[in-house]
Structure formats: C-alpha cells, structure tokens
Amino acid sequence: NAGVTQTPKFQVLKTGQSMTLQCAQDMNHEYMSWYRQDPGMGLRLIHYSVGAGITDQGEVPNGYNVSRSTTEDFPLRLLSAAPSQTSVYFCASSRGTGGSKSYEQYFGPGTRLTVT
C-alpha cells in the first residue's frame, strides 16, 4: 500500500493563480480531510469528507473548494491564490466509524505552498 499520497510536494504560485492539490489513498478509507499548517502552529481543518459525494467545511474553508467523486481521491482547489494561503497542506484519511482503530488517521507527507 502506498498509503496517502500528495502531489506536488512543493509549489510556488503568483497571487490570483489557481491550482489543485492532489490527494489519494489506497486503503479504501471513507473519511478524508485537508488541513493547513502555518508556521509555529498546529494543523487547522479546511474541508473534510465522510464518503464519496459528501463534503463539508472545516474551520478555515474560505478560498478553497473540494469535491469527492471517488473513495480514493480528494483534491483541494485554490480558486484565486492569495499570500495568506502560503502554508503546508496535509491530507489525511481514516477508516471511519466502527471497528478496531477506526479512528486512526493516516497523514500524507504534505505540500509546501508559497504564494507570492
């Protein structure tokens, strides 16, 4: 299993550009989430999904869109990049409710985004 993969690892954007951060998992997990981590801070939830076709907003959703058309993929779209979106982005997945260790979160390696 590859686990949770994220592409790209690094990205530099100019203000106003758009892009999509990719996240994929091969563990058949129902739950997937996107977090951002700003310098010296903990992770904050952007959007999450409890299954294909179901998404919802987290703590800091403004400026980001998500969709979940398959169980495996959960892309994060930046519509019009702003310097305030300079951050490290983590995708995570978990099995969901019920069963042993269903709570366990698997994190991707992160994408470091800089907006100039």
Partner 1 sequence: AQKITQTQPGMFVQEKEAVTLDCTYDTSDPSYGLFWYKQPSSGEMIFLIYQGSYDQQNATEGRYSLNFQKARKSANLVISASQLGDSAMYFCAILEYGNKLVFGAGTILRVKS
**Which residues of this chain interact with partner 1, rule CB under 8 A?**
31, 33, 35, 40-45, 48, 50, 56, 58-59, 88, 90, 92, 94, 96-97, 102-105, 107, 109-110, 112
Q: How far apart are CA 104 and CA 72, in angstroms?
A: 17
> Smallest distance, Å, CB 31 to partner 1?
4
8 Å CB contact between 53 and 68: yes
> Smallest distance, Å, CB 25 to partner 1?
13
Closest to partner 1 by CB, 31 or 64: 31
> Smallest distance, Å, CB 67 to partner 1?
16
